[in-house]
Structure 1
Amino acid sequence: MTERTFTRISALRDVAVQGRFGADKGAVGVTFSVRHPMSIVTVIARAGQGEATAAALKGYEAQWAGPDQWFVLAENRGEGALYRDLKAKLSGLASVSDQSHGRVLLRLTGPKARAVLAKGTPVDLHPDAFPVGKSALTQMAHVGVHLTRVGADTYDLSVFRGFAESFWEWITEQSEEFGYQVI
């Protein structure tokens, strides 16, 4: 029997067109990129295993996703490889679920990134309240968003694949006044 391989196709492949858009004066205020292909696995610790699970996730790109829950991300991994690794490593500690095909991960960076995000979320994005590494579950434009600050002016936004296109339209529209670039 031949092993089947799958190619992940971004839900935004026909929408996230590279180029500069919006205000054309001065420097670009916001830059967007689609982090694709991206392996995304949800990890939920079993009762009483939160600390042990968190310790086992050291070395992984793990973003908080609720009490004793994380999104674990990896680029350039084979189809299902991250899921298989975590399932074996976390056996007895946590449940894991591959979300790679079900979520889209956007990276928003630039001096106006926080201003764009503030248009759609009640989360206090001031650096004192939302430091690098912090995550929040929120809604923007009636879409559930997992928001993580990954750098001084850089944020990752994860949305369900089915909402990705409408969310893209909304967030790029919010960025027009600052000028934005898609890379």
Structure 2
Amino acid sequence: MPKSPAKQPAVAEQSFPRVSPLADVAIQGRFGADQGAPGVFLSVRHPCSIVTVIARQGKAAAVKKALGASALWAGPDQYYVVADQRGEGALYRELKQALDGSASVIDQSHGRVILRISGPKARAVLAKGTPVDLHTDQFAIGQSAVTQMAHVGIHLTRTGEDAFELSVFRGFAESFWEWLTEQSEEYGYQVM
């Protein structure tokens, strides 16, 4: 009697590894101007869970309260939640259950890439491509903006004194990385 094939997990149970589209491009090392310490540090925040939450009509206050400090502004009644070290789909399921009936929850983990830029010249590099006023008096730590940079739509968040995260759609990640490294060359940059 032939063996029956091993039972395959349902699609919802399968785990698809998150492979960074920049795995072969974001090579660690020191590049650009080579005098003194690098002015810019670049890295890819990977892997991480990324979920977009859109509050339903009349539910924005309740959604914002439920999300708390973990939510980043992403538009009117829209929030962006990012978490590290979470199992595949765990953040999505958690938020879907917590916000049931109050918001639409969309997992973006496979569709977006988050780039980190920091260092004393990070603001100068970003200013080359965005109209957002990145001065410390205008763009506070924790503040986000949905904007364009180098003709690519991004979600920009200031995460520290001289540190930012830029979320881009996966399909634009490589060309955006190329732009970001070219703009960082004059200051010298370190890929971490």
Q: Please state which band the TM-score falls in when normalised by the shorter chain.
A: over 0.9
SS in 2 for 1:57: helix
CA RMSD of aligned residues (A): 0.9
- Per-residue Cα deviation, 1:68-118 (whole angstroms, up to 9, x for no partner): 111100101010000000000000111100000000001111000000000
Gaps of 5+ in 1: none
Equivalent of 1:7 in 17, 21, 28? 17
User: Following superposition, which runs of at least 4 residues in structure 1 exceed 6 angstroms of deviation?
Assistant: none
Q: Highest Rg: 1 or 2? A: 2
2:185 aligned partner: 176
Establish whether residue 143 from structure 1 lines up as the match of residue 148 from structure 2.
no
2:167 aligned partner: 158
Gaps of 5+ in 2: 1-6
1:116 aligned partner: 125
Deviates more, 1:48-57 or 1:2-11: 2-11
Equivalent of 1:43 in 46, 53, 56? 53
Counterpart Cα distance in 2 of 1:4 and 1:64: 31
Counterpart Cα distance in 1 of 2:71 and 2:164: 14
1:95 aligned partner: 104
Counterpart Cα distance in 2 of 1:111 and 1:70: 29
**2:150 corresponds to which letter in structure 1?**
A
Establish whether residue 29 from structure 1 lines up as the match of residue 29 from structure 2.
no
CA drift of 1:4 comes to 2.2
Give percent identity, aligned residues only: 70
1:65 aligned partner: 74
